[in-house]
Amino acid sequence: MSADRPCNVLFLCTHNSARSILAEGIVTLLGEGRLVGHSAGSHPSGRVNPFALEVLQSLGCDTAGMHSKSWDAFAGPHAPVMDFIITVCDNAAGESCPVWPGEPLKLHWGLADPSTVDSDDAGRRAAFQDTARQIAARVGALIDRRGAAGDRRDAKRHTATFTPAGQ
């Protein structure tokens, strides 16, 4: 990452409809211009879960333009250079990923899929809010560690195994 551009973070999940979308919005919001979130999926569903959008909007995230897309959009020669690639589901972590331009650091944050919660709308909404809290805690640690270390490799070393208290 150069000093003249923000740090690009790509969140990957299989369907790019819930966890990765939440992470994209949260990292952009909390990154305050220093971090820019992106998201994609290995087998995108083609739609964003409405509960993900609702939770992001309640946090003050700009959701305009968020859509489910393939990770191929970030693997080509004209794609933005990523500094971090973070898988947020175990399926995507185990898949054979494209070759990413640059030398992004890779992390895995295994998160439960809130879209699989079998409940009424209130229960599903609560599951999405809980996932958003987990993501925000990890993003906060990434920002803190990266800022303290001043180097993305140190940030990786400090956040690779980070699990917020209570998880």
Residue 7, strand partner residues: 35
Per-residue pLDDT at 100: 75
Per-residue pLDDT at 94: 63
Domain that holds residue 136: 7-159
In a domain, 167, yes or no: no
Per-residue pLDDT at 77: 82
Q: Based on the structure, what is the number of domains in the chain?
A: 1
- Domain harbouring 21, CATH code: 3.40.50.2300
The ranges of the chain with pLDDT < 50 are 1-2, 148-150, 158-167
Per-residue pLDDT at 116: 94
| CA dist., res. 87 & res. 89, Å (int) | 6
In a domain, 1, yes or no: no
Per-residue pLDDT at 36: 94
In a domain, 165, yes or no: no
| CA dist., res. 67 & res. 141, Å (int) | 26
Per-residue pLDDT at 75: 86
* The total number of residues written for the chain in this structure: 167
